[in-house]
Structure 1
Amino acid sequence: MTLMGIRTCDTCKKAAKALEAAGHKVTFHDMRADPLSDAQWQELLTEFGDKLVNKKSTTYRGLSDWMKASEADAQLTNHPTLMKRPVIRADGVLYLGWDDTVQGALLG
């Protein structure tokens, strides 16, 4: 299982801790230390579309109106930490965020 996010993200830390406590082996992919490739971004954008952009973040609120109006791929290319976190790959399935639905599917 791979968890993609940034090390300083509290939600990523909570998710990793809960998954490990449930017996999952979690590999953490820190997007700051090891940026996602174009192919990885494309896969995530294909799967989640503009849901991949965290529009509640401080970074998003600080974007220019022009950037807010641009496509998700342009927003994430210029500001990768805008990605809603975490993104978890488990058994070939991608999950976005750490809400009750994702927790139910992975911690079941």
Structure 2
Amino acid sequence: RLHLANTGSGGRHRSSTANPDDSRLREDDLAAAVAAYLNREALTEVFEHVVVIADPRTLGELRKHFQAPLRAKLVGEVAKDLAKHSAKAIEDMLTTA
């Protein structure tokens, strides 16, 4: 399971002058937590292949954290914000791609 309480772990230090947008920092921390979760799951037999869907900026942040075992199972990336789309619409988009 993905535990959002651990999103700030990892020893990263940020200067508020370098990136003053708190919401962006939270998004980056969430992306790092999601990537850590996927990296852990990639070491198990939970999934054989994975497609990552995220808005372009978040996808770029996720990529920074992907490890080799996850990259080996990565069969696709979709750089789109599909947060307001239904699961069915996303499934249809993936099957027609």
**TM-score by structure 1 length?**
0.24
Larger-gyration structure (1/2):
2
The one of the two structures with greater contact order (alpha-carbon pairs below 8 A, sep at least 6) is 1
**TM-score by structure 2 length?**
0.25
